[in-house]
């Protein structure tokens, strides 16, 4: 008896796809195509969205045209997916996934760090799997990587959780047990440090080149941080194949831009924002961040290569081809905060391959892809010296002339917010108390204005490039911060002073010098003595929690001392006011109070300067101190260097009700541009998905999401039908965390 196996429509579709793939491969073999052509055909000529950012060059571009300017008003919800399956979601969850779609299957993650696969046309779950590792502290999720071998015999999803790189079967979700150690690789290994005393994680997915996954990491931003090595691992075995030292070792290029032997103890210069790869050239392009500690450069005199640099590395070997440094000796946390975009400019019948790097400074670095030389002049201009005794500051910094900036580049008195007189007066007092704004003014004891602020300008969402028009699209924030350093006179022999120093160096920047917290990113700890216990607090310092990375490199004594200091300070603050807010008499001296008292005998004193904290420069309602717009969407012509248009992105309902025109909001996540004339973006804190006309910036369509979409959308096509999908993770800018994925398409009658 012969048993026939029923072939479902989905299975039939896959068989047809396999047959088409086989024919295509035979044709490709006959034509002996280049590696670029091979990769392009495998990825379906953008019918899929097979990479973080759309393609290996991070263009955020799609050739799809079914949804276009003429019919986008008819766009409707096609499906939605609750990835957490009604489980409770942590308030600190930040689901920022740019989904990948390959052969009709959508891959994403949920707030519990699980990976899932859906039928991309219906949202029906195919499988979901746990990550096979426990999250440790902070572990943002922004994407995944898809790899298949040359003969399409293996398909894998590679992703990270905490300090692990993991691999699973793309068809089943099952762990690849012969990858690394039973399916995972410890990213802390191989950095030349004790793996139990460093913290690393990778918020952005690695890029695939042949049988390699190339990846950077995020690290702590204070003393004791791990180095930011760029590394390539085998997608087959998980073995480490090559390493590039961003803190150069002796004998390597850049070693003389640091103090001698700094690589042994220094940290940072890491690529947390993602990478891009030119498959044809075999080159990976890497944007790096600042060296650590972020705001104190006294222990790292010099220009500090390869921090704050765009690197071109041989993707096979990790060998440096060229570099361009955007900030010398960073004292402002001016990380290069998004994966670069690889673009080909078309002008007067000529083509030019370039790297486009957006920055927190609100400017684009446009470099030749082969040489790293700027396409437009970049000047070295004199900058102020540091007012801090013993601090080093570079005497010059690069300044972009073109392309035109996409944010304002100075904060002058006429730019103080004018949304109402109360806001103006509140901001003016802070403005007058700050040092006058200057380009790359080093932080001093007097607060100075950092504009754009710590988060940009541009951030990790990056931009989108349209090869048909040479236009590059980027969303931005115009939000300022106040930055300063605080002198501490401490005894080197005092446990209580050591606890204070550890707190000021590692914790105060987020939690505040009076434990007031940093809204909306770090919680207040002013009442920690009433609601917590020291054992739990020490465990959190060691392992991390929520957005907080582990501080496991602190000694046991340092962890104990800093927790003692925090609890003593909390008790002191609690005793300073009664229930009516009236100041109480000073409490009698006690062992706890001595931790926050300066009235102790010191045998040996030292003065240390610590970062004063991520202070927002805002009005009394937390709106930015500068005149609107505060969030924008920009189109820049990369051939001329001129900005073509700018529009506000998002609005605050409270201000709209007061009669104030849309100001734009703070925003995270990137845009997507299509051949159908559309610019698609969520990102804004008003929790909407918007679609604009890419030629003019005119708003064509918008949708109220269940939670904010702090992610880059994806667009793809199945059986001739185009979809747009966005992950709605929320969890930033005071918005609630979410778990849904929403997909949109045209109703059949509206095509």
The percentage of the chain sitting over the pLDDT mark of 90, rounded to a whole number, equals: 74
Angle at 500 between CA 496 and CA 506, to 5 degrees: 140
The pTM (predicted TM-score) of the whole model is 0.87
38 lies in some domain = no
Number of domains in the chain: 2
Together in a domain, 607 and 630 = no
Pairing of strands 672-674, 61-62: parallel
Dist. CA 201–CA 108, nearest whole Å? 18
CB 70 within 8 A of CB 693: no
Q: Which residues contact 132 (CB under 8 A, 6 or more apart)?
A: 166, 175, 182, 183, 184
Q: Which residues contact 677 (CB under 8 A, 6 or more apart)?
A: 68, 69, 693, 694, 695
CB 235 within 8 A of CB 208: yes
pLDDT of residue 139: 61
Angle at 513 between CA 510 and CA 517, to 5 degrees: 40
3-state SS of 569-612 is: HHHHHHHCECCCCCECCCCCCCCCHHHHCCCCCCCCEEEEEEEC
Together in a domain, 457 and 587 = no
- Domain containing 606 — which CATH number? 1.10.760.10
Dist. CA 190–CA 127, nearest whole Å? 34
Residue at which a domain ends, from 551, 582, 612:
612
Dist. CA 212–CA 412, nearest whole Å? 49
Stretch (H or E) spanning 473: strand 471-477
12 lies in some domain = no
166 lies in some domain = yes
Together in a domain, 726 and 605 = no
9 lies in some domain = no
Together in a domain, 462 and 491 = no
CB 270 within 8 A of CB 243: no
For CA atoms 706, 710, 711, 717, give the dihedral sign: positive
Structure token digits, residue 282: 């075999």
Give the number of other Cβ atoms within 10 Å of residue 516's Cβ.
Answer: 14
Together in a domain, 365 and 239 = yes
Residue at which a domain ends, from 612, 635, 667:
612
45 lies in some domain = no
pLDDT of residue 521: 64
734 lies in some domain = yes
Together in a domain, 161 and 269 = yes
pLDDT of residue 138: 56
pLDDT of 381-435, one tens digit each? Answer: 999 999 998 899 999 999 999 999 999 999 999 999 999 999 999 999 999 999 9
Together in a domain, 476 and 417 = yes
53 lies in some domain = no
Q: Which residues contact 70 (CB under 8 A, 6 or more apart)?
A: none
Together in a domain, 352 and 469 = yes
Together in a domain, 189 and 211 = yes
CB 669 within 8 A of CB 710: yes
Q: Which domain holds residue 292?
A: 61-483+618-750
The ranges of the chain with pLDDT < 70 are: 1-46, 134-139, 492, 518-521, 546-547, 576-605, 749-751
pLDDT of residue 91: 83
The region, left, alpha or beta by phi > 0 then psi within -120 to 50, assigned to residue 182 is left
- Domain containing 315 — which CATH number? 2.140.10.10
539 lies in some domain = yes
Together in a domain, 286 and 416 = yes
Together in a domain, 432 and 479 = yes
Dist. CA 630–CA 664, nearest whole Å? 5
Together in a domain, 298 and 250 = yes
Residue at which a domain ends, from 578, 612, 646:
612
Cα pseudo-dihedral 99, 102, 104, 105, rounded to 10: -50
């Amino acid at each position: 008896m012969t048993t026939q196996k029923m072939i479902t429509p989905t299975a039939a579709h896959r068989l047809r796809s396999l047959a088409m793939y086989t024919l295509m491969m035979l044709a490709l073999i006959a034509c002996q195509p280049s590696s670029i052509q091979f990769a392009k055909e495998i990825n379906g000529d953008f019918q899929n969205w097979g990479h973080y950012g759309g393609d290996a060059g991070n263009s955020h571009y799609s050739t799809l045209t079914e949804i276009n300017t003429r019919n986008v008003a008819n766009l409707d919800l096609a499906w939605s997916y609750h990835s957490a399956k009604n489980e409770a979601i942590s308030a600190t969850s930040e689901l920022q996934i740019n989904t990948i779609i390959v052969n009709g299957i959508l891959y994403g993650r949920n707030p519990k760090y699980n990976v899932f696969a859906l039928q991309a046309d219906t949202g029906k779950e195919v499988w979901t799997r746990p990550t096979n590792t426990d999250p440790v502290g902070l572990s943002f999720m922004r994407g995944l990587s898809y790899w298949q071998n040359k003969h399409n015999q293996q398909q894998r999803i590679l992703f990270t959780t905490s300090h692990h790189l993991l691999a699973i079967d793309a068809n089943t979700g099952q762990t690849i047990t012969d990858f690394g150690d039973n399916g995972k690789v410890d990213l802390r290994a191989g950095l030349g440090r004790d793996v139990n005393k460093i913290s690393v994680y990778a918020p952005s997915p690695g890029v695939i080149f042949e049988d390699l996954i190339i990846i950077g990491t995020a690290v702590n931003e204070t003393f004791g941080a791990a180095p930011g090595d760029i590394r390539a691992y085998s997608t087959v075995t998980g073995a480490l194949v090559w390493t590039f030292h961003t803190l150069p070792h002796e004998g390597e290029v850049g070693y003389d831009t640091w103090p001698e032997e700094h690589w042994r103890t220094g940290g940072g210069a890491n690529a947390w924002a993602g990478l891009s790869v030119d498959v044809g050239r075999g080159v990976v392009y890497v944007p790096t961040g600042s060296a650590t500690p972020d705001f104190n450069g006294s222990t790292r005199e010099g220009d500090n290569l390869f921090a704050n640099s765009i690197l071109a590395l041989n993707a096979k070997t990790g060998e440096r081809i060229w570099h361009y440094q955007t900030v010398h000796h960073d004292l402002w946390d001016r990380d290069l905060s998004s994966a670069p975009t690889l673009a080909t400019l078309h002008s007067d019948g000529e083509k030019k391959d370039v790297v486009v790097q957006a920055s927190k400074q609100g400017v684009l670095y446009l470099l030749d892809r082969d040489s790293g030389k700027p396409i437009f002049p970049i000047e070295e201009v004199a900058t102020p010296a540091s007012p801090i005794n013993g601090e080093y500051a570079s005497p010059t910094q690069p300044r972009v002339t073109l392309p035109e900036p996409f944010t304002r580049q100075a904060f002058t008195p006429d730019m103080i917010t004018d949304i109402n007189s109360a806001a103006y007066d509140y901001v003016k007092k802070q403005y007058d108390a700050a040092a006058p704004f200057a380009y790359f003014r080093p932080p001093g004891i007097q607060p100075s204005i950092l504009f754009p602020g710590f988060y940009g300008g541009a951030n990790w969402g990056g931009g989108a490039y349209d090869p048909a028009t040479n236009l590059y699209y980027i969303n931005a924030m115009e939000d300022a911060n106040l930055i300063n350093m605080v002198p501490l006179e401490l005894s080197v022999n005092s446990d209580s002073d050591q606890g204070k120093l550890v707190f000021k160096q590692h914790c105060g920047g987020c939690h505040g010098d009076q434990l007031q917290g940093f809204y909306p990113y770090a919680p207040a700890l002013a009442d920690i003595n009433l609601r917590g216990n020291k054992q739990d607090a020490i465990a959190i310092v060691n392992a991390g929690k929520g957005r907080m990375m582990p501080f496991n490199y602190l000694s046991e004594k340092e962890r104990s001392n800093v927790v003692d200091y925090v609890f003593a300070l909390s008790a002191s603050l609690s005793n300073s006011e009664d229930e009516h807010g009236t100041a109480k008499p000073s409490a009698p001296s006690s062992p706890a109070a001595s931790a926050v008292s300066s009235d102790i005998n010191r045998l040996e004193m030292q003065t240390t300067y610590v970062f004063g904290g991520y202070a927002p420069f805002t009005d009394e309602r937390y709106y930015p101190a500068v005149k609107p717009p505060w969030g924008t969407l920009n189109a820049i012509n990369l051939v001329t260097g001129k900005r073509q248009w700018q529009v506000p992105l998002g609005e605050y309902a409270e201000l709209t009700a007061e009669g104030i025109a849309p100001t734009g909001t703070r925003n995270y996540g990137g845009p997507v541009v299509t051949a159908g004339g559309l610019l698609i973006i969520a990102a804004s804190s008003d929790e909407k998905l918007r679609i604009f006309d890419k030629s003019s910036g005119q708003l064509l369509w918008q949708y109220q999401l269940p939670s904010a979409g702090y992610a880059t959308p994806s667009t793809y096509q199945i059986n001739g039908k185009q979809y747009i999908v966005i992950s709605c993770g929320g969890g930033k800018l005071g918005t609630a965390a979410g778990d849904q994925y929403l997909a949109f398409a045209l109703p059949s009658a509206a095509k």
